[in-house]
Amino acid sequence: MAEPVERRILRRMSPSDEEIVINFGPQHPSTHGVIDFVTQTNGEVIRRSVPDIGYLHRGLEKIGETVGYPGFMPFTDRIDYLAAMLANEGYAMAVERLLKIEIPPRAKYLRAIAGELCRISNHWVAVGTMASDIGASTPLTHALREREALNDLLEELCGARLTFNYARIGGVSFDAPEGWKEKILRYLEHLESYIQEWDRLISLNQIYVKRLANVAVISRAQAIDYGLCGPNLRGSGVSWDTRRDLPYGAYPDFTFDVPVGQGKMGTVGDCWDRYAVRVLEILESAKIIRQALDKLPEGDIMAKVARKPKPDAGEAMARVESARGEMCYYAVSDGSEKAYRLRVRTGSFMAMGIIEEMSHGLMIADLIALIASLDVVAPEIDR
């Protein structure tokens, strides 16, 4: 029998007489879910911290092989519950590629609008919890208040506030309700002015900047080597965004900037850069939503798809820019109505690898900042 993972991780710890091994988690206020960071420290200074993941493994990929193509859609919500729209979209795209169908343009636009609203909502949680991990509790509730407005908007669209189950294979489940556009525009106007207050409250707060600048600097080369993706990759100064560089859905029609870390407060790739990239992405998402609402075409929201689609034998992969980085769905069909193999690659999982490398020499409070700045969500790691 294989040795349990915990035992293997503990064996790698070699505390001297002056060092202790301490478990950050699995129940800890700042691990963003059930993750255990086995940490060897000398007082406040960390020698090595190894993430022990898998506490939230629910075998979702295996479920995908047993429930049939449309049936797996609600499960994708549970992969990344903070950005469920984007997880939906990725899975729908993978199956659509397998079925070789094109979806109506209105569905593409609705997916983009809903996805970007969801990205803003996710980034509010990300920056809010990061502030809370650094010790400021007020920004978190303000961020949640902003997210509440977004939840209301998405609830109006699809009836759910967290696990949306909005995308369908071949389109989306509901059309935009009446007056939705005006409500979104009103919120975006508020959002763009609110970001300035947010920056005054926390982003540029001297204590906050001092806590994050030059902490856990991930260089450009390291970020690429460790396969970081999304805001974590862009925080290290790598300008890569799947929406721009491998455009999908309605994204070729929009113009937007891809914010990258510039080391404004310290070094490129420090915790503050990863944080700032997220704040700037909120504004870019707002830009995309405005364009999409302007150009929103009329027409159907669903392509013609069989109730139980049976794709030809083959394989397909879809890459979407989720809120936590590039999310890849890989589906293999054997010609039946269930996937032969379904795999998901997620951003949080990729972020786990670099923690051991970065943790050496950090202080305990810095490790919390590093974990928060990588914006990990435990169910997305374990699936």
Partner 1 sequence: MRITTALDSTSLTTRYPKTALATTLFFMLALPFLLYAVLLFTLPFNRPESLDAVAQKFGWDLGRSLYRDTFYGIVFLVEGTFVALYTAVFAGVTTWVERRIAGRMQSRIGPNRPGVFGFISWVADAVKMLFKEDLIPAEADNLLFRSAPYFSMVGLTLPFVVLPFGESVIVADLNVGVFYLTATSAVIVLGILVSGWSSNSKWALFGAVRGAAQVVSYEIPAGIAIMVPVMMAGTLSMQGIIRAQGGWPWQWFACQNPAAFVAFFIAVTASLAEGNRTPFDLPEAESELVAGYHAEYSGFRIALFLMVEWANMWIMGALAVTLFLGGWQIPGVSVEMISQTRGTDVFPSLIWFGWQSASMLVFATKTWALVVLFIWLRWTLPRVRVDQMMSLCWKYLVPGAFACFIFTLFWVMVPASVHLASGIAISLGATALLVAFALRTRKNITQVKGASVDLSNW
Residues 38-57 that bind partner 1 (CB under 8 A): 43-44
> What one-character DSSP code corresponds to residue 335?
S
179 to 208, contacts with partner 1 by CB under 8 A? 183, 186-187, 189-190, 193-194, 196-197, 200-202, 205, 207-208
Q: Which residues from 361-380 bind partner 1, rule CB under 8 A?
A: 363-366, 368
Region of 139-147, 240-248, 249-257, 289-297 interacting with partner 1 (CB under 8 A): 139-147
Q: Counting beta carbons within 10 angstroms of the beta carbon of residue 37, is it exposed (0 to 12), middle (13 to 18) or buried (19 or more)?
A: buried
- Distance of closest approach, residue 189 Cβ to partner 1, in angstroms: 5
Secondary element (H or E) of residue 226 = none
For partner 1, which is the closer residue by CB, 4 or 29? 29
The one among 4, 6, 8, 20 contacting partner 1 by CB under 8 A: 20
- Count CA within 13 A, CB hemisphere, residue 190: 11
Encoded one letter per residue, x for contact with partner 1 by CB under 8 A and - for no contact, window 336-365 reads ---------------------------xxx
Q: In what order do the strands lie in the sheet with 36-42?
A: 20-24, 36-42, 45-52
Distance between CA 238 and CA 89 in Å, rounded? 25
Residues 6+ apart with CB under 8 A from 119: 83, 86, 281, 285, 323
As measured in angstroms, the least distance from the Cβ of 353 to partner 1 is 23
Stretch of 22-30, 239-247, 280-288, 317-325 lying at the interface with partner 1 (CB under 8 A): 22-30
What are the start-end ranges of the H helices in the chain?
5-12, 60-64, 73-79, 84-99, 105-134, 138-158, 180-198, 206-212, 220-225, 231-235, 242-245, 271-295, 347-359, 364-373, 378-382
State CA 37 to chain mean position distance.
Answer: 20
Task: CB nearer to partner 1: give 86 or 131.
Answer: 131
Interface residue list for partner 1 (CB under 8 A): 20, 22, 28-30, 43-44, 131-138, 141-142, 145-146, 148-149, 152-153, 156, 183, 186-187, 189-190, 193-194, 196-197, 200-202, 205, 207-208, 210-211, 363-366, 368
